[in-house]
Structures are given as C-alpha cells and as structure tokens.
Amino acid sequence: MERLQKIIANSGYTSRRKAEELIIQGKVKVNGKVITELGYQVDSHADIQIENQHLTKEEKEYYLLYKPEKTITSVQDNRKRTTVRDLIDTRARIYPIGRLDYDTTGVLLLTNDGELTNRLMHPSNHIEKRYLAKIKGNLTKEQILKLKDGIEIEGRKVIPTKLKVRHKGINTSKIEIGIIEGRNHIVKKIFAELEHPVINLKRESYAFLNLEGLKKGEYRKLTIKEIKKLYSLK
C-alpha cells in the first residue's frame, strides 16, 4: 500500500506536488470513488482515474536539455510561448525538475519519474548547481569576500559553494558561482544585493551533469549509470 499522490507521481502522470493539488480539487477517483484525502493509501491493483482518465504506467524517461532563452520551464503555457516540453520529442508526460527563468539558459533535467524528482527537489538533498553570470560592473575585493562568507537574502544567508571571476571587462564581468539553494531567482537576487545586476545567466551544471556535446535547444537521454548516480545523491 502506498499514498495515492506517490503512485500518481511514480506513474509519470505529473509531479507529486501537482498530484496533491489534483486530489485536493476532487479530480482523482479510486475504484470509482472521489478521493480528497492526501494520506489515502491504495494498492497496486486499484483503478485510479484522474479527470476521468484511467491512470496507466509509462516507461521512465530521463533527459538533459540545454535550455535556450525565451523558453518557459513548464509543460504548457496559456500565452502560447515555447515550453521546454516542446523541445523534446517524446509522447511521455515528462516535466522539468526545478525551474530556470524565461531568459536563463543551461542545464535542465526532465523526466516522468516522480520518485527521482521528489528526491532531487527535497530540501534535505543539497545538490550543487553552477552558474555563469554576466553582471554589470566588477565586484570589489570586499564584495567577493563578503559573498564568500555568505550574503543574506530575504532573511536567510546564502553561502556559495564556488566563486570565481572568469572575466573582468570595463563595464561587465563574468562570475562562476555554485549554490545549493533552491529559491526562485536566487542568483539574480545575490548580485542585485551587491548592486551588480545580472545581464544574462547560464546554468553550466547540475550535480555532476553538464552541457558537454550539446548546443542550445538540444537534448540527450541520460545513461543508466547517470540515473543511478542521481538516485545515490545525498
């Protein structure tokens, strides 16, 4: 017996968070009965319907996408903008693990494996993401030291796991920064706090995965070895 939202997420239908929303909204039936209880336990033989569609299990699929600019990190958009899901040729109901801003490029993982998504997104699983930020101006030595020691953003301190000045120009510079934070726009907020706004941002790696061999808009399937390694991250 397992919780209903976990079974829905593991089937590849949607993320666990979205599954919980569907249950609360009364859009999920188990053996013909509407279920609105998040802790409801079901077995593997239960007939589950979501919005009157029978739940079926999909083969698990795992992708690494080099997300381009002007692309929504979502599976659909009511403004008809391009989504990351549009860029991958599959019939599986994949969805992104985490988010990248509309104008941010770089590594993005997509899958229909709800268990892996939940593992990687859980706050206790401190996964490093490395970014290359092009910012206005140049950081002073004092600002670099302040950032290395940790900078307070919205009442919580952020300490980079990596900080390196890649390029220093006259009016702009490029900074490599590693973080384990999962808060929205956190890199942009860090540099805004230092009064050096981000001009553009690229996520160069997620844990051990990087963009090697890919161009913007291209993607590849993860290997079995990579999938097992993601499951082992702590």
Estimate to the nearest angstrom the gap between the alpha carbon of 202 and the chain centroid. 14
Task: State residue 138's pLDDT score.
Answer: 97
Q: If pLDDT is split at 50, 70 and 90, which confidence band does 77 have?
A: confident
Q: Where in the chain does DSSP place strands (E)?
A: 2-3, 28-30, 33-34, 41-42, 48-50, 53-54, 62-67, 95-96, 105-111, 129-136, 151-153, 156-158, 162-168, 172-179, 198-206, 209-210, 219-221
- Catalytic residue numbers? 101
Question: For position 32, what pLDDT does the model report?
Answer: 92
d(CA 115, CA 233): 13
Annotate 69-132 with DSSP letters as a single string. SS-BSSS--TT---BGGGGS--SS--EESS---TT-EEEEEEES-HHHHHHHHSTTS---EEEE
CATH topology of domain 129-206: Alpha-Beta Plaits (3.30.70)
Q: Tell me the average pLDDT across 100-113.
A: 95
- E strand or H helix at 186, and its extent? helix 186-193
* Lowest-confidence region among 95-109, 114-128, 144-158, 218-232: 114-128
pLDDT in tens, 8-33: 887 778 778 888 999 999 999 999 99
pLDDT digits (tens, 9 = 90+) for 165-209: 999 999 999 999 999 987 889 999 999 999 999 999 999 999 999
> Which pLDDT score is estimated for 122?
79
Name the average pLDDT for the chain.
92
Q: Which fold has domain 2-54?
A: 3.10.290
How much is the pLDDT for 107?
Answer: 98
The dihedral formed by the CA atoms of 23, 25, 31 and 32, expressed in degrees to the nearest 10: 180
Report pLDDT for 80.
Answer: 86
Q: Are strands 198-206 and 105-111 parallel, antiparallel or unpaired?
A: parallel
Question: What distance in Å separates the CA atoms of residue 146 and residue 141, rounded to the nearest whole number?
Answer: 9
pLDDT category of residue 114 using cuts at 50, 70 and 90: confident
Same fold flag, 2-54 and 129-206: no
CB 183, CB 110: distance < 8 Å: no
Q: Where are the domains of the chain?
A: 2-54, 62-124+209-232, 129-206
pLDDT score at 115: 85
The CATH architecture that domain 62-124+209-232 belongs to is 2-Layer Sandwich (3.30)
